């Protein structure tokens, strides 16, 4: 009986050790994920912009105009990104915390409003940058958009109906 008791105590100690290590790792991952989310919003804007303008052979004057345009919207971009990250975090916490459906809906609606703000800002900035581009550069962008649309449609077709 004592032998089983010792084995049981040892197993409980191992389980507690594993759970505590997992909890510490989870907390560290949560902090890292929050940091990535905060950085990610700004980086996402820059990555989309690079994808939007990449390979267009912009002149130095065009590059300067794009930088000026972005600098003019910097505070707007930061505000939208900050609010979006905060509201997404609140939504995630509501989901994980088992909030009532009405609270989940309210948190989701805030994220939806943030996304709309991001879309309108992106639309404004895109229109301003398109004014800087030549017709040939704009046509190349439209070709890229067509290729992306084709890839998205192919993914949808693979998912099924």
Could you tell me where the DSSP H helices lie in the chain? 2-53, 60-72, 74-96, 101-132, 135-159
**Distance (Å, whole) CA 63 – CA 138:** 15
**Distance (Å, whole) CA 24 – CA 26:** 5
What residue spans define the domains of the chain? 59-134
pTM metric for this prediction: 0.63
* Per-residue pLDDT tens listing for the chain (161 residues): 555 665 555 565 555 555 555 555 555 666 666 665 555 655 666 677 777 777 788 899 998 999 999 899 999 989 998 999 999 999 999 999 988 999 989 999 999 999 999 999 989 998 999 999 999 999 988 888 898 889 989 888 888 76
């Amino acid at each position: 009986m004592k032998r089983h008791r010792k084995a049981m105590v040892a197993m409980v100690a191992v389980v507690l050790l594993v759970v505590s290590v997992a909890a510490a790792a989870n907390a560290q991952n949560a902090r890292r994920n929050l940091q990535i989310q905060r950085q990610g919003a700004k980086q996402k804007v820059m990555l989309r912009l690079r994808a939007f303008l990449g390979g267009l052979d912009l002149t130095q004057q065009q590059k300067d105009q794009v930088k000026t345009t972005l600098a003019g919207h910097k505070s707007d971009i930061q505000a939208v990104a900050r609010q979006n990250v905060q509201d997404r975090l609140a939504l995630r916490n509501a989901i994980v915390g088992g909030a009532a459906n009405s609270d989940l809906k309210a948190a989701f609606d805030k994220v939806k409003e943030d996304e709309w703000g991001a879309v309108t800002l992106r639309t404004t900035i895109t229109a301003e940058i398109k004014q800087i581009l030549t017709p040939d550069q704009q046509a190349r962008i439209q070709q890229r958009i067509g290729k992306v649309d084709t890839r998205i449609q192919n993914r949808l077709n693979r998912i099924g109906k």
